């Protein structure tokens, strides 16, 4: 069979998701405890007679339909470091990727009952937990300007199933460092944000695959039609700058890139006396090289569980007034 090899991090997907950092990318909320639920939808293809590796299997003409949720607990402490508010977060992903490959060329599924013979089509859909994620950030505020530095670590402790096509867990240590800035003018109802960072990938011990390191950038511009309702546009770019490697990278050190563009609608409304924020984001991947190409969707819901009393949150009052 004539197939061209193509890859961008293991499986043609990466830890970073385009558009996830904006709008309001540079804003750290006032001291308190917050909960955020991000539901992620993705429908994409790895077609054109190209091959990729999933769970150690070499497959071609792949369709992926992913639904995943990232449940996040955010603690913004009253502690300041270098004048910035210190915050910590814990994220627990879970989801069900439905993956279908038009052709199986090699790998563990050839010898499994749920797989098929060489050249057969295979599919898999399994609900499983992803790798837990921890992060720390520092956020600063000055008038309408807000900016943030963040470090994220994904720990390979999820429900990764070696040899399977359907995995939310990536089963490797992943570090991400980023910086973001936001200009938010409540009088004009304008929000402008930019966020950029680097993702550093470890090795998946189950497949002996080392994904290359990556750069990503997100930008957004939003207009608040009312104090509660906003609409905006988002653009995002991902670029892999070192190749995949290791004994498991049997298709070579391929680098991927993708640009995604889309829009967003946000709404904040009280529910049982608690301000609840909801946001929808939809982006389409364009200018894709060596990756899946498809449509991204987010449904984000967040609300405070506890906010520091006024005296402790005095420094944060100007920011609270903006919302």
- Residue 305 domain flag: yes
- Residue 64 domain flag: yes
The domain containing residue 248 runs over which residues?
4-10+20-322
What pLDDT score does 266 carry?
Answer: 98
- Residue 303 domain flag: yes
Return per-residue pLDDT of the chain as tens, 323 residues. 233 333 457 877 789 999 999 999 999 999 999 999 999 999 999 877 788 888 888 898 999 999 999 999 999 999 999 999 999 999 999 999 999 998 888 888 876 645 556 777 889 999 999 999 999 999 999 999 999 999 999 999 999 998 889 999 999 999 999 999 999 999 999 999 999 999 999 999 999 999 999 999 999 999 999 999 999 999 999 999 999 999 988 887 778 899 999 999 999 999 988 999 999 999 999 989 888 999 999 999 999 999 988 654 444 433 433 43
What residues contact 226, with CB distance under 8 A and at least 6 apart?
Answer: none
Give the three-class secondary structure for 72: strand
For the segment 258-271, what is each residue's pLDDT rounded down to a tens digit? 999 999 999 999 99
What's the domain count of the chain? 1
What pLDDT score does 110 carry?
Answer: 77
- Residue 215 domain flag: yes
What pLDDT score does 112 carry?
Answer: 62
Question: Does residue 232 contact residue 280 with C-beta atoms inside 8 Å?
Answer: no
Q: Burial, 10: exposed, middle or buried (Cβ in 10 Å; 0-12, 13-18, 19+)?
A: buried
What pLDDT score does 1 carry?
Answer: 29
- Residue 245 domain flag: yes
The CATH number of residue 272's host domain is 2.40.160.40
- Residue 85 domain flag: yes
For the segment 191-214, what is each residue's pLDDT rounded down to a tens digit? 999 999 999 999 999 999 999 999
What pLDDT score does 121 carry?
Answer: 86
For the segment 278-311, what is each residue's pLDDT rounded down to a tens digit? 999 999 999 898 889 999 999 999 999 999 886 5
C-alpha distance from residue 229 to each of 11, 86, 159, 279, 297 (Å): 38, 29, 38, 10, 19
pTM: 0.89
- Residue 294 domain flag: yes
CA–CA separation, 240 and 133 (whole Å): 21
Residue 201 carries which DSSP code?
E
- Residue 15 domain flag: no
In sequence order, what are the beta bridge partners of 197?
Answer: 178, 216
């Amino acid at each position: 069979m004539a197939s061209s090899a193509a890859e961008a991090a293991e499986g043609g997907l990466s830890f970073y998701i385009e558009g996830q950092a904006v709008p309001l990318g540079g804003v750290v909320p006032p001291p308190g405890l917050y909960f955020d639920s991000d539901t992620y939808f993705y429908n994409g293809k790895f077609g054109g007679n190209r091959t990729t590796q999933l769970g150690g299997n070499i497959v071609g003409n792949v369709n992926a339909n992913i639904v995943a949720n990232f449940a996040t607990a955010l603690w913004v402490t009253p502690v300041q470091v270098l004048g910035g508010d210190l915050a910590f977060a814990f994220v627990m992903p879970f989801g069900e990727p439905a993956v279908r490959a038009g052709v199986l060329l090699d790998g563990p599924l050839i010898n499994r009952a749920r797989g098929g013979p060489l050249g057969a089509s295979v599919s898999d859909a399994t609900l499983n937990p992803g790798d837990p994620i921890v992060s720390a950030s520092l956020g600063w505020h000055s008038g309408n300007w807000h900016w943030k530095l963040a470090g994220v670590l994904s720990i390979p402790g999820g429900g990764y199933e070696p040899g399977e096509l359907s995995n939310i867990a990536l089963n490797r240590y992943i570090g991400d460092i980023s910086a973001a800035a936001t200009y938010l003018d409540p009088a004009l109802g304008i929000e402008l944000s930019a966020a950029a960072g680097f993702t550093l990938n470890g090795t998946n011990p189950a497949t002996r695959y080392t994904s290359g390191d990556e750069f990503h950038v997100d930008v957004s511009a939003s207009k608040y039609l009312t104090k509660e309702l906003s609409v905006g546009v988002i653009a995002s770019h991902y670029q892999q700058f070192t190749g995949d490697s290791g004994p498991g990278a049997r298709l070579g050190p391929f680098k991927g890139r993708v640009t995604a563009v889309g829009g967003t609608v946000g709404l904040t409304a009280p529910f049982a006396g608690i301000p609840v924020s909801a946001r929808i984001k939809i982006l389409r991947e364009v200018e894709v090289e060596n990756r899946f190409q498809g449509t991204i969707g987010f449904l984000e819901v967040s609300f405070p569980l506890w906010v520091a009393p006024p005296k402790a949150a005095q420094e944060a009052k100007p920011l609270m007034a903006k919302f």
